[in-house]
Chains A and B, each alone.
Chain A
Amino acid sequence: MHELSICLALIEQVQQVAREHGATRVDRILLRIGPLSGVEPSLIESAYPMVAVGTLAADAELVIETTPVRVRCNDCGQETDARPNRLLCGACGGYHTKVLSGTEMLLANLELTLPGD
């Protein structure tokens, strides 16, 4: 269950950004997580409230955007959809592909309440 340690890292980052901006509250947290990141969004969602207790982000809405698995073929140059356990080129079937999307594990965006706002 590395989702708990990832949540701890997340709340650290969120608090750091909130402090740098002088925020009084974190209202919304947007994560971008891909199926190839090794992170299970539902486990993040259930671990999050535990780590957020008592922080500026205790009442924040946690939104997780799942990114699609996309590959680009080095042989034929096509960009196609793929599945986590089938990352072959959708056009020529070759396996010399590069994953373009689907591995993300990002803190994408925060909405903050600032004292001056």
Chain B
Amino acid sequence: MCDTCGCNITPGNEHLVRAGGPHAHTEDGRAAVTVLASLLGENDHQAAHNREHLDRHGVLAINLMSSPGAGKTSLLEATIEALGGEFGIAVIEGDLETENDAERIRAKGVPAIQIATGSACHLDAHMVHDALHQLTLDGVDLLFIENVGNLVCPASFDLGHHHNVTLLSVPEGDDKPAKYPVMFRAADLVLCTKGDLLGVLPEFAPARAEEHLRRLASDAPFTTVSTRDPASLAPWFGWLREELAAQRARTAAGHTRRPMVQAEGTRSGGVVHRPDHDHDHAGGGHHRHQAGGHHHHD
């Protein structure tokens, strides 16, 4: 399903053009080279390819992030139960906390690819790319990627998905957005999970959690849910339906949407126009392709 990526032939990046040209020199005679490339340029490049691949198949990809045990897999199980008849769903499992997360998903009748993350504390675009190769996307509308349970590292890596959904469970405390601003700022939607426990944990005030989120200049919707109370999941399902419709409209118009990831000097979230062979090298991203390791998808 993949072609060799043509962008290693025409990198079209300013830095390469400058290479070999006259150098600025420091006082002690060294060559000073301005690079200004994101340290995650190579990851972002792969992510852009993953997204292209997903867009071509009309798939909406959602990255679920949270602390370990906040309820990502349980939410997926409940979502598959409720929406499995309405949409084609597939799951990429990257959470190492529970070995059998993929099994739990398959038990619901949905394809699930388990990424062997080893001791990695986050997923990256290359891992997701490998998983995509094992997945048949025909007939899939929604692809969920369950990230490693960790409120730090996953926030920095674009996987080629469209939205970040961050879960904050009631037992964790309502100040988590203030303690992990990078993660919560990246969220396109925050789900306050285990809402059924609010009665026994009155110290958790959803309004306060939302206030901490707003202090991060985030407009992301904030909703309290519980997998023990199916009715509470209605706003989540509504959000998924709306975003899937939006994804279809975008791909029909040749646009795509990047999630909010960090380092906006070189990257940013939101709708971007996607011309024919967009490699999204904006920001002077310096990158290269490992021989044979990089290709386009059909």
Residues on A close to B: CB < 8 A?
Answer: 1-2, 5-6, 9-10, 12-13, 16-17, 20-23, 27-28, 31, 34, 36-39, 71, 84-88, 95-99, 101, 103-114, 117
Contact = CB atoms under 8 A, between A and B. Distances in A.
A36 B183 CA distance: 9
Interface string B103-145: 0000000000000000011101000000000000000000000
B31 A117 contact: yes
B19 A88 contact: no
B36 A107 contact: yes
Interface of B: 15-16, 19-20, 23, 25-26, 29-43, 120-122, 124, 152-153, 155-157, 177-179, 181-183, 185, 212, 214-219, 262-266, 286, 288
A34 B156 CA distance: 12
Given A2-B157, A38-B155, A106-B266, A111 B182 contact: no
Contacts of A23: 31
Contacts of B16: 20
Contact of B262 (A36, A97, A111, A117): A36
Given A2-B122, A37-B263, A103-B263, A10 B39 contact: yes
B295 to A, nearest CB: 19
B157 A36 contact: no
- Between A2, A9, A39, the greatest number of chain B beta carbons within 10 A of the residue's beta carbon is seen for A2
B20 A6 contact: no
A111 B217 CA distance: 38
A2 B153 contact: yes
